[in-house]
Amino acid sequence: MVEERLDADVVVAGAGTAGSHAAWALANAGFRVALVEARRFAEAGARWANLVPVWPFEAAGLANPEPPEALEEDRSYSMLSLTGPGRTVLDRDKPCVHVDCRLLVERLQSLGRLAGVQGLDCLRHMALEFDASGRPTALTADRDPPDAAPSRVRITARLFVDAAGITGPLRRQVPGLAADCPDLAQDEVCAGANEVCEVADPAAARDFMAGLGLGAGDAFAWTGVRGGYSTIVCHVRADAGTVLITTGSVADGRHGSGVAILKAFKAGHPWIGRGLFGGSGLIPIRRPYDRLCAPGIALVGDSACQVFAAHASGIAIGLLAGRCLADSLAGRQDPGAEESVWAYQSSFLRTHGPMLGAFDAFRRLSVSLSEAEVGDLVGEGFLQASSVRSALGQKLLLPRLVDEGLALARALAHRPGLAAKLAATGARGAAAAALYRAHPAHPDRDALRRWSHGVAAALGGRADVQ
Ligand SMILES: Cc1cc2nc3c(=O)[nH]c(=O)nc-3n(C[C@H](O)[C@H](O)[C@H](O)COP(=O)(O)OP(=O)(O)OC[C@H]3O[C@@H](n4cnc5c(N)ncnc54)[C@H](O)[C@@H]3O)c2cc1C
């Protein structure tokens, strides 16, 4: 078999949104980057339409999505209660946009090619080689593209970035890191599904939306459809020509799955026609791992659990992680040295950890709630527009006390039990956020262990670093 030998500064494994963007950002920072992918590049990453906040694009150094990558803007976004007439509506200043992630991945990959990223796809059996200290030094794999002869690839580099998604195939090969990145518990995984479908009967689609007090062009979310952490988000486009449906539920065996919820929703609404594109998969929904690196390796994207836990959204955070990695490593002689990769870990967790930790507290609460309690969250006025904007925009915002205070006070009085749970969740989130701002700035395993135990005490569960 032909053997290909390459030398790079950085190998990024996984050409989805997080990996393609990180590869581009690292190449712009002056590193020689190889981007390696198990599938064909044209099939890498998310193959569905995702709801993504807008602000992280600029923060990640990217232009905002434009059509056709950005899909038609929603006229309004409503959170509807399943148990009553209550609702929360955002009809202006919607902080997010629907993105055709197939086109976003394509954009990021082509930016990388222009910046000199060297790409190798269709790789199988990826294995790391290590030096005596346990630091990875090379990656080997079999390459079997459909249009060329199979080959054996060996790439030496000083840093390997695992951006290969929830399974973390490189992370698992580095013993020191694998031990600190525990397998996900059932309530830390969301089974999601998404499909853009034709509308077979536009009049019936408009009637359905009208029955909810909405019209074509509006979007709505029903949360708690199977209790706790489960949802259906539906957007009938303005011309009632297509509908975008996203479903998901915590994969603990008690809430069904995103695929089952999507199937049932379609079966109950015969106006929904043929599927055009979409997909399904597992999404990590816990706070990011407390350890995002070891000498010679760093994690970005789903592999690092860099996901907004409250609604299982990883696109924006994965982009921000790549920016943070490139900024932390720029100008460093050895991008894989412990000080270099720790600078990334510390910068990412100090900057984005407060928001991710606080919303992980909310995820933990929502997994435990009944259908009725989730209905009350919306129906009784706990979720005011500022909370919905905060969650969709993936930014911590305080309630606007002047116009939202009265509704919140009424909700607190009507549902004191739920109010107490929310107050406890808020306190946990605030404690975690404070800890994130003080993540150890320099390599220090004992300090990291103490920090990890502090975060676990604030949020619940076992510390990552023992
Ligand atoms: C149905 C569904 C709906 C979603 N909706 C939203 C949403 O609305 N908003 C949002 O922000 N997020 C959403 N998400 C989550 C989002 O899609 C993920 O968080 C995001 O795609 C993660 O990006 P990533 O680049 O880290 O990983 P991935 O997108 O998983 O990409 C990883 C890449 O690595 C490749 N790979 C795997 N193993 C290897 C290996 N050994 N070597 C090399 N390459 C490898 C894979 O082929 C893949 O191309 C949704 C997820 C699902 C499943």
**42 burial type by CB count under 10 A (0-12 exposed, 13-18 middle, 19+ buried):** exposed
Whole-angstrom distance, CA of residue 282 vs CA of residue 278: 14
Q: Which atom from ligand 1 is nearest to the alpha carbon of 169?
A: 41
Confidence of residue 261 (pLDDT cuts 50, 70, 90): very high
Between 40 and 369, the higher pLDDT residue? 40
Starting at the edge strand found earlier in the chain, the sheet holding 123-130 runs 2-7, 151-156, 136-143, 123-130
Whether the CB of 37 sits within 6 Å of ligand 1:
yes
> What is the pLDDT, as a whole number, of residue 396?
77
Is the pLDDT reported for residue 129 higher than 90?
yes
Confidence of residue 355 (pLDDT cuts 50, 70, 90): very high
Model pLDDT for residues 216-257, shown as the tens digit of each residue: 999 999 988 888 889 999 999 999 999 999 999 999 877 789
Confidence of residue 89 (pLDDT cuts 50, 70, 90): confident
* Residue-averaged pLDDT of the chain: 93
Confidence of residue 366 (pLDDT cuts 50, 70, 90): confident
Which range among 110-114, 297-301, 364-368, 377-381 shows the weakest confidence by mean pLDDT?
377-381
Question: Helix, strand, coil shares of the chain as percentages rounded to 5?
Answer: 40, 25, 35
pTM: 0.95
Whether the CB of 318 sits within 6 Å of ligand 1:
yes
Give the chain's domains with CATH numbers: 2-51+103-185+286-354 (3.50.50.60), 186-284 (3.60.90)
Place of tokens 């249009």: 147
- Give distance in angstroms: CA of 243 to centre of ligand 1: 22
Whether the CB of 435 sits within 6 Å of ligand 1:
no
Whole-angstrom distance, CA of residue 178 vs CA of residue 142: 24
> What is the pLDDT, as a whole number, of residue 179?
94
**Residue pair 329/27 in contact by the 8 Å Cβ criterion:** no
Whole-angstrom distance, CA of residue 79 vs CA of residue 385: 9
Mean pLDDT confidence for 170-177:
95
Whether the CB of 193 sits within 6 Å of ligand 1:
yes
The phi and psi torsions of 445 (rounded to 5 degrees) equal -65, -40
- Give distance in angstroms: CA of 16 to centre of ligand 1: 6
Q: Which atom from ligand 1 is nearest to the alpha carbon of 170?
A: 41
Is the pLDDT reported for residue 404 higher than 70?
no
- Give distance in angstroms: CA of 302 to centre of ligand 1: 7
Mean pLDDT confidence for 164-174:
98
**Residue pair 162/299 in contact by the 8 Å Cβ criterion:** yes
